[in-house]
Structure 1
Amino acid sequence: MTTTPHHEGRTALVTGGSRGIGRAISRRLAAEGALVAVHYGHDHDAAERTVEEIVTDGGRAFAVHAELGVPGDADALWAEFDHGLAAQDAAPGLDVLVNNAGITLPRSIANVTEQDYDRVFAINTRAPFFIVQRGLERIRDGGAIVNVSSVTTRFAYPAIIAYTMSKGAMDTFTLALAKELGPRGITVNAVAPGFTETGINPTLRNPEIRRNYSAESVFDRLGQPEDIAAVVSFAAGGDAGWTTGQRIDASGGVRI
Protein backbone atom coordinates (compact mmCIF):
# COMPACT_ATOMS: atom_id res chain seq x y z
CA MET A 1 0.00 0.00 0.00
CA THR A 2 1.51 3.34 -1.09
CA THR A 3 0.07 6.49 0.49
CA THR A 4 1.14 9.97 1.54
CA PRO A 5 2.47 10.03 5.13
CA HIS A 6 -0.30 12.21 6.59
CA HIS A 7 0.08 10.57 10.01
CA GLU A 8 3.84 10.35 10.34
CA GLY A 9 4.94 10.27 13.96
CA ARG A 10 1.41 9.93 15.33
CA THR A 11 -0.11 7.19 17.47
CA ALA A 12 -3.57 5.81 16.65
CA LEU A 13 -5.95 3.39 18.33
CA VAL A 14 -8.58 1.63 16.20
CA THR A 15 -11.23 -0.31 18.10
CA GLY A 16 -12.36 -3.39 16.24
CA GLY A 17 -9.24 -2.84 14.19
CA SER A 18 -8.47 -6.41 13.17
CA ARG A 19 -11.22 -7.20 10.64
CA GLY A 20 -13.37 -5.61 7.96
CA ILE A 21 -13.52 -1.83 7.97
CA GLY A 22 -11.38 -1.68 11.10
CA ARG A 23 -8.61 -3.69 9.47
CA ALA A 24 -8.62 -1.37 6.44
CA ILE A 25 -8.46 1.68 8.74
CA SER A 26 -5.58 0.20 10.73
CA ARG A 27 -3.64 -0.56 7.56
CA ARG A 28 -4.34 2.84 6.04
CA LEU A 29 -3.22 4.81 9.10
CA ALA A 30 -0.11 2.66 9.46
CA ALA A 31 0.74 3.11 5.77
CA GLU A 32 0.50 6.85 6.34
CA GLY A 33 3.05 6.73 9.14
CA ALA A 34 1.10 6.14 12.37
CA LEU A 35 1.95 3.64 15.07
CA VAL A 36 -1.36 1.77 15.24
CA ALA A 37 -2.86 -0.03 18.21
CA VAL A 38 -5.09 -2.71 16.66
CA HIS A 39 -7.83 -3.47 19.18
CA TYR A 40 -9.74 -6.75 19.12
CA GLY A 41 -12.34 -8.34 21.33
CA HIS A 42 -12.21 -12.07 20.56
CA ASP A 43 -10.31 -12.93 17.37
CA HIS A 44 -6.67 -12.98 18.45
CA ASP A 45 -5.52 -14.57 15.19
CA ALA A 46 -7.15 -11.84 13.08
CA ALA A 47 -5.45 -9.15 15.16
CA GLU A 48 -2.06 -10.82 14.82
CA ARG A 49 -2.55 -11.17 11.05
CA THR A 50 -3.40 -7.48 10.74
CA VAL A 51 -0.34 -6.49 12.78
CA GLU A 52 1.85 -8.79 10.68
CA GLU A 53 0.47 -7.31 7.44
CA ILE A 54 1.25 -3.80 8.67
CA VAL A 55 4.78 -4.73 9.73
CA THR A 56 5.41 -6.56 6.43
CA ASP A 57 4.39 -3.40 4.59
CA GLY A 58 6.91 -1.40 6.60
CA GLY A 59 4.57 0.03 9.22
CA ARG A 60 4.34 -0.21 12.99
CA ALA A 61 1.51 -1.77 14.98
CA PHE A 62 0.65 -3.81 18.04
CA ALA A 63 -2.46 -5.69 19.17
CA VAL A 64 -4.65 -4.58 22.08
CA HIS A 65 -7.14 -7.02 23.59
CA ALA A 66 -10.23 -5.98 25.52
CA GLU A 67 -13.76 -7.33 25.36
CA LEU A 68 -16.24 -4.48 24.89
CA GLY A 69 -19.77 -4.32 26.23
CA VAL A 70 -18.84 -5.66 29.67
CA PRO A 71 -18.19 -3.85 32.96
CA GLY A 72 -14.75 -2.28 33.09
CA ASP A 73 -14.16 -2.59 29.35
CA ALA A 74 -12.76 0.91 28.86
CA ASP A 75 -10.32 0.63 31.74
CA ALA A 76 -9.17 -2.77 30.49
CA LEU A 77 -8.63 -1.39 26.99
CA TRP A 78 -6.56 1.57 28.15
CA ALA A 79 -4.45 -0.63 30.45
CA GLU A 80 -3.63 -2.86 27.48
CA PHE A 81 -2.95 0.16 25.29
CA ASP A 82 -0.53 1.68 27.82
CA HIS A 83 1.26 -1.65 28.19
CA GLY A 84 1.54 -2.02 24.42
CA LEU A 85 2.95 1.48 24.00
CA ALA A 86 5.59 0.80 26.63
CA ALA A 87 6.55 -2.44 24.87
CA GLN A 88 6.97 -0.46 21.65
CA ASP A 89 9.19 2.03 23.51
CA ALA A 90 6.79 4.74 22.34
CA ALA A 91 5.91 7.98 24.09
CA PRO A 92 2.72 7.85 26.20
CA GLY A 93 -0.38 9.40 24.70
CA LEU A 94 -2.57 9.21 21.63
CA ASP A 95 -3.21 11.36 18.57
CA VAL A 96 -6.03 9.52 16.82
CA LEU A 97 -8.87 7.49 18.34
CA VAL A 98 -11.16 5.63 15.93
CA ASN A 99 -14.29 4.21 17.59
CA ASN A 100 -15.02 1.54 15.01
CA ALA A 101 -15.95 -1.59 17.00
CA GLY A 102 -19.60 -2.54 16.74
CA ILE A 103 -22.14 -5.27 16.18
CA THR A 104 -25.24 -5.43 14.03
CA LEU A 105 -28.70 -6.58 15.06
CA PRO A 106 -30.75 -7.55 11.98
CA ARG A 107 -34.13 -7.72 13.71
CA SER A 108 -37.29 -5.66 13.53
CA ILE A 109 -38.77 -4.17 16.71
CA ALA A 110 -41.07 -7.14 17.33
CA ASN A 111 -38.10 -9.51 17.50
CA VAL A 112 -35.65 -7.51 19.62
CA THR A 113 -35.28 -8.85 23.15
CA GLU A 114 -34.18 -6.76 26.11
CA GLN A 115 -30.91 -8.68 26.09
CA ASP A 116 -30.39 -7.90 22.37
CA TYR A 117 -31.09 -4.22 22.96
CA ASP A 118 -28.78 -3.93 25.94
CA ARG A 119 -25.94 -5.71 24.14
CA VAL A 120 -26.03 -3.61 20.96
CA PHE A 121 -26.03 -0.40 22.99
CA ALA A 122 -23.35 -1.69 25.37
CA ILE A 123 -20.94 -2.33 22.50
CA ASN A 124 -21.93 0.33 19.96
CA THR A 125 -22.67 3.24 22.28
CA ARG A 126 -21.69 2.76 25.92
CA ALA A 127 -18.22 1.37 25.20
CA PRO A 128 -17.05 4.28 23.01
CA PHE A 129 -18.52 6.78 25.48
CA PHE A 130 -16.40 5.47 28.33
CA ILE A 131 -13.38 4.79 26.11
CA VAL A 132 -13.36 8.50 25.30
CA GLN A 133 -14.07 9.49 28.91
CA ARG A 134 -11.20 7.35 30.25
CA GLY A 135 -8.93 8.40 27.40
CA LEU A 136 -9.30 12.19 27.60
CA GLU A 137 -6.02 12.63 29.47
CA ARG A 138 -4.21 10.47 26.92
CA ILE A 139 -5.49 12.21 23.77
CA ARG A 140 -3.08 14.97 22.85
CA ASP A 141 -4.21 18.49 22.06
CA GLY A 142 -4.59 18.82 18.30
CA GLY A 143 -5.60 15.19 17.96
CA ALA A 144 -8.69 13.62 16.41
CA ILE A 145 -11.55 11.33 17.31
CA VAL A 146 -13.47 9.56 14.55
CA ASN A 147 -16.68 7.70 15.36
CA VAL A 148 -17.84 5.15 12.81
CA SER A 149 -21.59 5.64 12.37
CA SER A 150 -23.91 4.35 9.64
CA VAL A 151 -25.74 5.68 6.61
CA THR A 152 -28.92 4.18 8.11
CA THR A 153 -29.17 7.01 10.65
CA ARG A 154 -30.48 9.33 7.92
CA PHE A 155 -33.39 7.24 6.62
CA ALA A 156 -35.91 4.74 7.97
CA TYR A 157 -34.59 1.18 8.19
CA PRO A 158 -36.96 -0.81 10.46
CA ALA A 159 -35.18 -4.14 9.87
CA ILE A 160 -32.25 -3.03 12.05
CA ILE A 161 -33.99 -0.52 14.30
CA ALA A 162 -31.97 -1.04 17.51
CA TYR A 163 -28.65 -0.98 15.64
CA THR A 164 -29.65 2.24 13.88
CA MET A 165 -30.65 3.81 17.19
CA SER A 166 -27.25 2.94 18.67
CA LYS A 167 -25.50 4.63 15.75
CA GLY A 168 -27.80 7.65 15.92
CA ALA A 169 -26.64 8.09 19.50
CA MET A 170 -23.05 8.16 18.22
CA ASP A 171 -23.95 11.01 15.85
CA THR A 172 -25.25 13.01 18.82
CA PHE A 173 -22.17 12.07 20.85
CA THR A 174 -20.00 13.41 18.02
CA LEU A 175 -21.68 16.81 18.10
CA ALA A 176 -21.42 17.30 21.85
CA LEU A 177 -17.87 16.01 22.03
CA ALA A 178 -16.71 18.27 19.19
CA LYS A 179 -17.91 21.32 21.09
CA GLU A 180 -16.39 20.20 24.37
CA LEU A 181 -12.97 19.33 22.93
CA GLY A 182 -12.73 22.19 20.44
CA PRO A 183 -10.74 24.41 22.85
CA ARG A 184 -8.05 21.74 22.87
CA GLY A 185 -7.86 21.66 19.08
CA ILE A 186 -9.23 18.11 18.99
CA THR A 187 -11.55 17.42 16.06
CA VAL A 188 -14.43 14.99 16.46
CA ASN A 189 -16.27 13.68 13.41
CA ALA A 190 -18.45 10.73 12.50
CA VAL A 191 -17.95 8.73 9.30
CA ALA A 192 -21.07 6.94 8.04
CA PRO A 193 -20.50 3.93 5.77
CA GLY A 194 -23.21 2.50 3.59
CA PHE A 195 -23.53 -1.07 2.37
CA THR A 196 -19.97 -2.33 2.61
CA GLU A 197 -18.32 -5.62 1.71
CA THR A 198 -17.46 -7.04 5.13
CA GLY A 199 -18.02 -10.23 7.08
CA ILE A 200 -20.22 -8.40 9.61
CA ASN A 201 -23.13 -8.55 7.16
CA PRO A 202 -23.94 -12.22 6.41
CA THR A 203 -26.84 -11.22 4.13
CA LEU A 204 -24.29 -10.27 1.47
CA ARG A 205 -23.88 -13.97 0.70
CA ASN A 206 -27.26 -13.77 -1.02
CA PRO A 207 -26.75 -12.68 -4.69
CA GLU A 208 -30.12 -10.91 -4.88
CA ILE A 209 -29.46 -8.92 -1.71
CA ARG A 210 -26.01 -8.00 -3.02
CA ARG A 211 -27.57 -6.67 -6.22
CA ASN A 212 -30.18 -4.70 -4.28
CA TYR A 213 -27.61 -3.17 -1.94
CA SER A 214 -25.30 -2.32 -4.84
CA ALA A 215 -28.17 -0.57 -6.63
CA GLU A 216 -28.66 1.72 -3.61
CA SER A 217 -25.36 3.47 -4.45
CA VAL A 218 -25.04 5.89 -7.35
CA PHE A 219 -21.96 3.88 -8.35
CA ASP A 220 -23.97 0.64 -8.51
CA ARG A 221 -21.57 -1.29 -6.31
CA LEU A 222 -20.94 -2.22 -2.71
CA GLY A 223 -18.47 -0.15 -0.75
CA GLN A 224 -15.11 -1.66 0.05
CA PRO A 225 -13.44 -1.34 3.48
CA GLU A 226 -10.68 0.69 1.83
CA ASP A 227 -13.26 3.26 0.67
CA ILE A 228 -14.21 3.89 4.27
CA ALA A 229 -10.63 3.86 5.51
CA ALA A 230 -9.72 6.68 3.12
CA VAL A 231 -12.46 8.91 4.55
CA VAL A 232 -11.50 8.05 8.14
CA SER A 233 -7.87 8.89 7.39
CA PHE A 234 -8.93 12.29 6.07
CA ALA A 235 -11.16 12.98 9.08
CA ALA A 236 -8.31 12.04 11.42
CA GLY A 237 -5.67 14.09 9.62
CA GLY A 238 -4.45 17.64 9.64
CA ASP A 239 -6.18 18.49 6.36
CA ALA A 240 -9.50 18.12 8.23
CA GLY A 241 -8.43 20.44 11.03
CA TRP A 242 -11.21 22.95 10.25
CA THR A 243 -13.85 20.20 10.06
CA THR A 244 -15.41 19.08 13.33
CA GLY A 245 -18.79 17.98 14.65
CA GLN A 246 -19.68 16.60 11.23
CA ARG A 247 -21.25 13.40 10.04
CA ILE A 248 -19.35 12.56 6.85
CA ASP A 249 -21.33 10.34 4.49
CA ALA A 250 -19.16 7.55 3.10
CA SER A 251 -21.94 5.52 1.51
CA GLY A 252 -21.30 5.99 -2.19
CA GLY A 253 -24.39 8.15 -2.47
CA VAL A 254 -26.92 5.73 -0.99
CA ARG A 255 -30.46 7.13 -1.27
CA ILE A 256 -29.48 10.68 -2.14
Structure 2
Amino acid sequence: MVADPRPQTLAGKVAIVTGATRGIGAGLAEELARRGAKVLITYASASSEPIADQMIEKIENFNNGSRVAKICADLRNLSAGQTIVDASVQAFGPNIDILVNNAGVEVVNPLSDITVEDYNLVYDLNVRGAIFLTQAVLPHLRAPGRIINISSVGARAGFANLSIYCSSKAALEGLTRCWAAELGDAGHTVNAVNPGPVQTALLDNIPKELVEMQKSATPVEHRVGTIDDVAQVVAWLASEESRWVSGQAIAASGGFAMY
Protein backbone atom coordinates (compact mmCIF):
# COMPACT_ATOMS: atom_id res chain seq x y z
CA MET A 1 0.00 0.00 0.00
CA VAL A 2 1.23 3.51 -0.83
CA ALA A 3 2.16 5.60 2.21
CA ASP A 4 -0.36 8.23 3.26
CA PRO A 5 0.34 11.60 1.58
CA ARG A 6 -0.37 13.64 4.71
CA PRO A 7 2.58 15.44 6.27
CA GLN A 8 4.07 13.30 9.03
CA THR A 9 3.92 16.08 11.61
CA LEU A 10 3.34 13.65 14.48
CA ALA A 11 5.89 10.97 13.63
CA GLY A 12 7.31 9.44 16.80
CA LYS A 13 4.62 10.99 19.02
CA VAL A 14 2.45 8.93 21.36
CA ALA A 15 -1.22 9.91 21.59
CA ILE A 16 -4.19 8.78 23.67
CA VAL A 17 -7.67 9.40 22.25
CA THR A 18 -10.61 8.56 24.48
CA GLY A 19 -13.98 7.44 23.15
CA ALA A 20 -12.23 6.56 19.92
CA THR A 21 -14.32 3.81 18.36
CA ARG A 22 -17.11 5.96 16.95
CA GLY A 23 -18.02 9.44 15.82
CA ILE A 24 -15.57 12.28 16.23
CA GLY A 25 -13.23 10.23 18.40
CA ALA A 26 -12.66 7.61 15.71
CA GLY A 27 -11.89 10.32 13.19
CA LEU A 28 -9.45 12.01 15.55
CA ALA A 29 -7.56 8.79 16.25
CA GLU A 30 -7.36 8.01 12.55
CA GLU A 31 -6.11 11.49 11.64
CA LEU A 32 -3.37 11.48 14.28
CA ALA A 33 -2.24 8.08 13.01
CA ARG A 34 -2.29 9.32 9.41
CA ARG A 35 0.20 11.96 10.55
CA GLY A 36 2.50 9.33 12.00
CA ALA A 37 1.50 9.12 15.67
CA LYS A 38 1.33 5.99 17.77
CA VAL A 39 -2.25 6.02 19.03
CA LEU A 40 -3.95 4.31 21.96
CA ILE A 41 -7.69 4.16 21.36
CA THR A 42 -10.01 3.75 24.33
CA TYR A 43 -13.59 2.50 24.48
CA ALA A 44 -15.97 1.94 27.37
CA SER A 45 -17.60 -1.44 26.78
CA ALA A 46 -16.73 -4.83 25.33
CA SER A 47 -19.39 -4.37 22.66
CA SER A 48 -17.11 -1.80 21.00
CA GLU A 49 -14.13 -4.15 20.74
CA PRO A 50 -14.95 -5.37 17.20
CA ILE A 51 -15.02 -1.74 16.06
CA ALA A 52 -11.68 -1.14 17.76
CA ASP A 53 -10.24 -4.16 15.97
CA GLN A 54 -11.46 -2.80 12.63
CA MET A 55 -9.80 0.54 13.36
CA ILE A 56 -6.55 -1.19 14.26
CA GLU A 57 -6.59 -3.12 10.99
CA LYS A 58 -7.22 0.08 9.03
CA ILE A 59 -4.49 2.09 10.76
CA GLU A 60 -1.95 -0.71 10.45
CA ASN A 61 -2.39 -0.44 6.67
CA PHE A 62 -1.38 3.24 6.57
CA ASN A 63 2.24 2.18 5.96
CA ASN A 64 3.64 5.34 7.51
CA GLY A 65 5.25 4.09 10.71
CA SER A 66 2.21 4.77 12.87
CA ARG A 67 1.13 2.17 15.40
CA VAL A 68 -2.10 1.57 17.28
CA ALA A 69 -3.24 -0.20 20.44
CA LYS A 70 -6.55 -0.46 22.27
CA ILE A 71 -7.87 -0.56 25.82
CA CYS A 72 -11.37 -1.06 27.23
CA ALA A 73 -11.82 1.36 30.13
CA ASP A 74 -14.92 3.23 31.28
CA LEU A 75 -13.79 6.67 32.43
CA ARG A 76 -16.73 6.87 34.80
CA ASN A 77 -14.71 4.46 36.94
CA LEU A 78 -12.02 6.17 39.00
CA SER A 79 -9.45 3.50 38.17
CA ALA A 80 -9.84 3.95 34.42
CA GLY A 81 -7.31 6.76 34.07
CA GLN A 82 -4.45 4.69 35.41
CA THR A 83 -5.62 1.68 33.41
CA ILE A 84 -5.41 3.72 30.21
CA VAL A 85 -1.98 5.12 31.04
CA ASP A 86 -0.66 1.67 31.90
CA ALA A 87 -1.88 0.38 28.53
CA SER A 88 -0.09 3.21 26.71
CA VAL A 89 3.14 2.57 28.59
CA GLN A 90 2.94 -1.14 27.84
CA ALA A 91 2.28 -0.56 24.14
CA PHE A 92 4.52 2.40 23.36
CA GLY A 93 6.89 3.03 26.26
CA PRO A 94 6.96 5.51 29.16
CA ASN A 95 6.34 8.75 27.28
CA ILE A 96 3.02 10.28 26.23
CA ASP A 97 2.96 13.35 23.98
CA ILE A 98 -0.70 13.99 23.17
CA LEU A 99 -3.89 13.49 25.17
CA VAL A 100 -7.26 14.02 23.52
CA ASN A 101 -10.07 14.04 26.09
CA ASN A 102 -12.87 13.22 23.68
CA ALA A 103 -15.09 10.70 25.50
CA GLY A 104 -18.42 12.22 26.42
CA VAL A 105 -22.12 11.65 26.75
CA GLU A 106 -25.18 13.86 26.49
CA VAL A 107 -28.62 13.78 28.08
CA VAL A 108 -31.51 15.70 26.56
CA ASN A 109 -33.98 16.61 29.30
CA PRO A 110 -35.82 19.74 30.43
CA LEU A 111 -34.74 21.13 33.78
CA SER A 112 -37.92 19.84 35.43
CA ASP A 113 -37.09 16.24 34.48
CA ILE A 114 -33.36 16.07 35.26
CA THR A 115 -32.46 13.31 37.70
CA VAL A 116 -29.42 12.70 39.87
CA GLU A 117 -28.69 9.72 37.63
CA ASP A 118 -28.65 12.03 34.58
CA TYR A 119 -26.26 14.38 36.35
CA ASN A 120 -23.91 11.61 37.45
CA LEU A 121 -23.90 9.98 34.02
CA VAL A 122 -22.79 13.18 32.29
CA TYR A 123 -20.49 14.72 34.87
CA ASP A 124 -18.74 11.50 35.86
CA LEU A 125 -17.59 11.06 32.26
CA ASN A 126 -17.42 14.53 30.72
CA VAL A 127 -15.74 16.24 33.67
CA ARG A 128 -14.46 13.86 36.32
CA GLY A 129 -13.17 11.36 33.79
CA ALA A 130 -11.18 14.03 31.96
CA ILE A 131 -9.70 15.37 35.20
CA PHE A 132 -8.41 12.09 36.53
CA LEU A 133 -7.17 10.74 33.21
CA THR A 134 -5.21 13.95 32.68
CA GLN A 135 -3.82 13.64 36.20
CA ALA A 136 -2.68 10.08 35.46
CA VAL A 137 -1.04 11.16 32.20
CA LEU A 138 0.98 14.03 33.71
CA PRO A 139 3.93 11.99 35.05
CA HIS A 140 4.42 10.60 31.53
CA LEU A 141 3.71 13.76 29.51
CA ARG A 142 6.81 14.61 27.49
CA ALA A 143 7.43 18.28 26.77
CA PRO A 144 6.16 19.86 24.66
CA GLY A 145 3.00 17.98 25.60
CA ARG A 146 -0.35 18.64 24.00
CA ILE A 147 -3.63 18.27 25.89
CA ILE A 148 -6.72 18.79 23.76
CA ASN A 149 -10.18 18.76 25.32
CA ILE A 150 -13.17 18.21 23.04
CA SER A 151 -15.83 20.57 24.32
CA SER A 152 -18.78 21.98 22.33
CA VAL A 153 -20.22 25.25 21.11
CA GLY A 154 -22.84 24.43 23.73
CA ALA A 155 -20.27 25.39 26.38
CA ARG A 156 -20.99 29.05 25.62
CA ALA A 157 -24.49 28.89 24.18
CA GLY A 158 -27.80 28.31 25.88
CA PHE A 159 -29.69 25.39 24.37
CA ALA A 160 -33.01 24.34 25.87
CA ASN A 161 -33.12 20.84 27.39
CA LEU A 162 -29.33 20.46 27.29
CA SER A 163 -28.38 22.10 30.58
CA ILE A 164 -26.40 19.16 31.97
CA TYR A 165 -24.49 18.55 28.75
CA CYS A 166 -23.76 22.22 28.02
CA SER A 167 -22.69 22.97 31.58
CA SER A 168 -20.36 19.94 31.59
CA LYS A 169 -18.70 21.24 28.44
CA ALA A 170 -18.41 24.70 29.99
CA ALA A 171 -16.64 23.03 32.92
CA LEU A 172 -14.24 21.35 30.50
CA GLU A 173 -13.50 24.71 28.92
CA GLY A 174 -12.76 26.16 32.35
CA LEU A 175 -10.42 23.27 33.09
CA THR A 176 -8.66 23.97 29.80
CA ARG A 177 -7.76 27.49 30.87
CA CYS A 178 -6.70 26.45 34.37
CA TRP A 179 -4.50 23.65 33.08
CA ALA A 180 -2.95 25.92 30.46
CA ALA A 181 -1.95 28.34 33.22
CA GLU A 182 -0.70 25.54 35.45
CA LEU A 183 1.22 23.43 32.94
CA GLY A 184 2.87 26.11 30.82
CA ASP A 185 6.05 26.11 32.90
CA ALA A 186 6.46 22.42 32.09
CA GLY A 187 6.33 23.24 28.37
CA HIS A 188 2.85 21.89 27.74
CA THR A 189 -0.08 23.50 25.94
CA VAL A 190 -3.73 22.88 26.73
CA ASN A 191 -6.55 23.83 24.38
CA ALA A 192 -10.17 22.96 23.70
CA VAL A 193 -11.95 22.38 20.43
CA ASN A 194 -15.64 23.26 20.39
CA PRO A 195 -17.39 21.51 17.51
CA GLY A 196 -20.73 22.72 16.30
CA PRO A 197 -23.20 20.12 15.06
CA VAL A 198 -21.29 17.30 13.35
CA GLN A 199 -22.72 14.54 11.20
CA THR A 200 -22.49 11.62 13.65
CA ALA A 201 -24.99 9.32 15.33
CA LEU A 202 -25.14 11.72 18.29
CA LEU A 203 -26.70 14.32 16.03
CA ASP A 204 -29.89 12.25 16.07
CA ASN A 205 -30.26 13.07 19.79
CA ILE A 206 -30.41 16.81 19.13
CA PRO A 207 -33.84 18.28 18.35
CA LYS A 208 -34.07 18.57 14.58
CA GLU A 209 -35.34 22.13 14.74
CA LEU A 210 -32.19 23.09 16.64
CA VAL A 211 -29.98 21.44 14.03
CA GLU A 212 -31.80 23.24 11.21
CA MET A 213 -31.45 26.54 13.06
CA GLN A 214 -27.72 25.96 13.44
CA LYS A 215 -27.32 25.09 9.76
CA SER A 216 -29.12 28.24 8.66
CA ALA A 217 -26.94 30.31 11.00
CA THR A 218 -23.66 28.76 9.78
CA PRO A 219 -22.01 31.17 7.32
CA VAL A 220 -19.76 28.57 5.68
CA GLU A 221 -21.90 26.45 3.34
CA HIS A 222 -24.91 26.37 5.72
CA ARG A 223 -24.29 22.76 6.71
CA VAL A 224 -23.35 20.66 9.70
CA GLY A 225 -19.70 19.82 10.11
CA THR A 226 -17.93 16.64 9.14
CA ILE A 227 -15.69 14.61 11.40
CA ASP A 228 -12.74 15.58 9.20
CA ASP A 229 -13.51 19.29 9.71
CA VAL A 230 -12.88 18.78 13.42
CA ALA A 231 -10.00 16.32 13.02
CA GLN A 232 -7.89 18.80 11.06
CA VAL A 233 -8.13 21.36 13.87
CA VAL A 234 -7.18 18.77 16.49
CA ALA A 235 -4.25 17.51 14.41
CA TRP A 236 -2.90 21.05 14.14
CA LEU A 237 -3.23 21.63 17.88
CA ALA A 238 -1.34 18.37 18.45
CA SER A 239 1.53 19.51 16.26
CA GLU A 240 4.61 21.66 16.84
CA GLU A 241 3.08 24.39 14.67
CA SER A 242 0.56 25.22 17.42
CA ARG A 243 3.29 25.88 20.01
CA TRP A 244 2.22 29.49 20.73
CA VAL A 245 -1.45 28.64 21.28
CA SER A 246 -2.60 27.63 24.77
CA GLY A 247 -5.64 28.16 26.95
CA GLN A 248 -7.86 28.66 23.91
CA ALA A 249 -11.22 27.24 22.92
CA ILE A 250 -11.42 27.03 19.13
CA ALA A 251 -14.90 26.78 17.68
CA ALA A 252 -14.85 24.32 14.78
CA SER A 253 -18.29 25.29 13.57
CA GLY A 254 -18.11 26.94 10.16
CA GLY A 255 -18.64 30.30 11.81
CA PHE A 256 -21.80 29.33 13.67
CA ALA A 257 -20.06 30.25 16.92
CA MET A 258 -17.87 33.35 16.71
CA TYR A 259 -16.83 33.54 20.33
Q: CA deviation at 1:204?
A: 6.7
Offset of residue 209 of structure 1: 6.1
The equivalences for 1:150-169 within 5 A come to: 150-169=152-171
Name 2:131's counterpart in structure 1.
129
- Corresponding residue for residue 60 of structure 2: 55
Alpha-carbon shift at residue 214 of structure 1 (Å): 2.3
Gaps of 5+ in 2: none
| CA shift for structure 1 position 74 | 1.4
Do the aligned partners of residues 32 and 255 (structure 1) sit closer, same or farther apart at CA in structure 2, a change above 3 Å counting? closer
Asked if the contact 1:65/1:80 (under 8 Å) is kept, the reply is no
Are positions 1:26 and 2:33 aligned together? no
Structure 1 distance, partners of 2:22, 2:207, is 17
* Among candidates 6, 12, 15, match of residue 12 of structure 1: 15
Residue 215 of structure 1, CA deviation: 1.9
What does 1:86-235 correspond to in 2, within 5 Å?
A: 90-203=92-205, 211-219=212-220, 220-235=222-237
**What's the CA shift for 1:218?**
1.3
Aligned to 1:45: 50
Q: After superposing the two structures, state which structure 1 stretch, 55-64 or 209-218, moved more.
A: 209-218
Q: Structure 1 218/201 Cα, relative in aligned 2: closer, same or farther at 3 Å?
A: same
1:159 alignment partner, SS class: coil
SS in 1 for 2:201: coil
1:31-78 deviation per Cα after TM superposition (whole angstroms, max 9, x unaligned): 101011111112111111111111122232111210121232212222
- Given that 1:197 and 1:204 are in contact with CA atoms closer than 8 Å, whether structure 2 keeps it comes out as no
Q: In structure 1, what is the Cα distance between the partners aligned to 2:225 and 2:20?
A: 18
**166-175 vs 150-159, greater mean Cα deviation:** 150-159
1:241 to 230, 243, 254: 243
> Residue 83 of structure 2 corresponds to which residue in structure 1?
76
Query: How many pairs were matched up?
Result: 250
Identity %: 32
**Match for 1:73: what amino acid?**
A
Q: In the aligned structure 2, how far is the partner of 1:215 from the partner of 1:48?
A: 38
Post-superposition CA distance 1:163-205 (Å, at most 9, x none):
0111100011001101111011100000000000111232479
Q: Are the counterparts in 1 of residues 150 and 193 from structure 2 also a CA contact under 8 Å?
A: yes
Name structure 1 gaps, 5 residues minimum.
Answer: none
TM-score (norm 2): 0.91
* 2:108/2:205 contact within 8 Å kept: no
SS at match of 1:63: strand
